[in-house]
Structure 1
C-alpha cells in the first residue's frame, strides 16, 4: 500500500489504533502517519502544558513520536494508545524541561511552591480584546506554574478525565481536583489583569442599550 493510499481521508476513521499499530509492526511504516495525525492535537497540548516555547514543543513532539515508533512493539494494550503515547510525550517534555530549568521541573510536585502571578498593565489592544479571547486565554494559562498548568491543560483544554489526568501526571485524583480549582482561579485573575477588567469597567452598558432601556421604561410609564 502506498503512502497516498494510507493517507486517504476516507480511511482515517475506519482503522482502529490497534489495526494501524499492527500494520506498522508488519512493516507498513507509512501507516504510522495516521496515528500522528490522529493525536497531533493532543500531544501538542500535553507538551505545551509543560513547555512554554512553541518551537521546543514541536521538537519534543517529534522526539516523542520517534520514541513511540521505536518502542511500538512494547505497547501491550493495557491502556489506550493515546494514554501510552501521552505518557511518552509528557516524559519527553519533562526531560527537556529538567535540562533547561531544574526549578520549574521540581515545581510540578512541590506543594510549597507558590504561584507568581504578576500584575499586567492593560493595553489598548487588550482592552479591546473581544476578538482575541483565545490568545488571551493561552497567555493566561502559560503564566501558571507548571503544577497548575499541566493539570488545567490536560483536564480543561484537552478534556481528559480527572482519572486520566491523575494517571498521566502520577498524582492522586484528589490532588488533581485541588490543583484544577486553584488553576482556574489563577487563570481568571490573570485574564482580568490582561483585559484590564475591574468592578467599574466590566459589563458596562453601552449607549445604545442604555438609550433603549430608558426609552422603553418612559414609554411604559406614560401608558
Structure 2
C-alpha cells in the first residue's frame, strides 16, 4: 500500500466509501501514534489505551460518511478518542487532579534558551522523563501540552477540541511547561516518550481491520 502513503485522508476516505475497505489500514497506521499519546495523556495504561484506540477507530470507520472535511481529519479522530477517554473516566470515576493556579507568566520550559520544547521532545534521552513528568501534572494542563506540543495541533484546533478559549490554551500551555520543567529537573533517563512500537501498531491494525470486515 506504499503508493497510497502520500494520499490525503480525504482521498483515502473517498476510496474506502467507494468500497476499498482495506485502505482503512492506512488510516489506522497513520493515526495510531496520535491516539496513543492522547490516551496516555489521560493517564490510562498501555492496555486500556489500546482498547480505547480500537474503539475509536471502529467508531470513526462507522462515521466516515459524517466526516465532511470541514475540519482536519486528525482533529476529528482525536475528538472521538477524547470522547472515549472521557466516558471511560466518568464510568470508572477516574480522578484527575485539578488546579486553579493559572499563571501566564511562566518561565521557558528549560533555562537554556536553545532547548525549546520541540527539540526536547525530539531528544531521545529526555523522553522518558517527559512521559513520567506529564503523568504528574493536572489533567487540564497535561492534555493541552499533549495536543499542542506532542500531537502538533494549533491553538485554534486545541481550543475547539477542549471547548476553551485560545487565550486559555496559551495560558495552560505555558503553565504546563513550568510544571514539566520543575519535574524534569529532578530526574534524567533515556526511554521513549509514550512510545508506540510497530509491533503494537500491527496488533491494533489487525484487530481493527478484523472488526470492520465483520461490519
TM-score for both structures, normalised by structure 1: 0.69
Which structure 2 residues correspond to residues 118-157 of structure 1 after superposition, within 5 A? 132-157=125-150
Per-residue Cα deviation, 1:94-134 (whole angstroms, up to 9, x for no partner): 11122223532x84xx7479xxxxxxxxxxxxxxxx97421
Which structure is higher in helix share? 1
SS in structure 2 opposite 1:103? coil
* 2:61 is equivalent to residue 56 of structure 1: no
Distance 1:40 1:189, change over 3 A: same
2:32 is the counterpart of 1:32: no
Deviation of the 1:24 alpha carbon: 1.3
Asked whether the 8 Å contact 1:52–1:142 carries over to 2, the reply is no
* Alignment match, 2:112: none
**Change in CA separation of 1:102 and 1:52 when aligned onto 2, cut-off 3 Å:** closer
Counterpart contact for 1:51–1:93, Cα < 8 Å: no
Q: The residue matched to 2:187 in structure 1 has which SS?
A: helix
Residue 191 of structure 1: aligned partner: 184
Q: Which residue of 2 aligns with 1:212?
A: none
Identify the match of residue 43 of structure 1 among 35, 38, 44. Answer: 35
Which of 1 and 2 has higher RCO (CA within 8 Å, sep 6+)?
2
1:9 CA displacement:
1.6
Runs of 4+ in 1 over 4 A off after TM superposition: none
- State the number of aligned residues: 168
| Shift of residue 60, structure 1, vs aligned partner | 0.4
5+ residue gaps, structure 2, are 103-122, 189-215
Structure 1 residues not aligned, in runs of 5+: 1-7, 114-129, 196-223
- Check if 1:162 corresponds to 2:173: no
| TM-score normalised by L of structure 2 | 0.71
Cα deviation, 1:151-198, whole Å, max 9, x if unaligned, reads 011111122211111111111111111111111111011112234xxx
For residues 188 and 100 of structure 1, the distance between their equivalents in structure 2, rounded to whole angstroms, comes to 31
Are the counterparts in 2 of residues 44 and 58 from structure 1 also a CA contact under 8 Å? Answer: yes
CA distance in 1, matches of 2:34, 2:133: 20
Measure, in 2, the Cα distance between the counterparts of 1:101 and 1:180. Answer: 26
Deviation per residue, 1:135-159 (Å, 9 max, x gap):
1111011111111100011111122
In 2, Cα distance between equivalents of 1:101 and 1:193: 31
How far did 1:79 drift?
Answer: 0.8
